[in-house]
Amino acid sequence: MKIRVWHCYHYGPDDAYIILAESEEALQDKIRAEIVASWYPEDDGPLPDDYDGMMEAYDSIYRYHGSHFGDVGWSEVNGALCEEVVA
């Protein structure tokens, strides 16, 4: 069994972290949530509804401050190599 994990990095001026999701759509939803949390419509203008427009708007403003999303992709994990985890 193979498990596909979608991921991207959020690079900030002081740090970077990985966002993980179970599908491309879920990853885009998580990226949107990150952008909405840091978006100030009164200063940044309206946030476009479509994903590509949102990413362009975010990059045009926040890349200047050293923040951007990058290395979007997916990896496959071989489930046979995973150990069962008990919470």
- What is the per-residue pLDDT across 51-62, written as a single tens digit (0 to 9) for each? 999 999 999 999
Q: What is the pTM of this model?
A: 0.85
* 74 confidence band (pLDDT: 50, 70, 90): very high
| Helix (H) or strand (E) segment spanning residue 33 | helix 24-38
Q: Rounded to whole angstroms, what are the CA distances from 43 to 3, 29, 75?
A: 41, 23, 37
Beta bridge partners, 18, equal: 9
Tell me the percentage of the chain whose pLDDT exceeds 70. Answer: 100
Q: What pLDDT is recorded for position 2?
A: 81
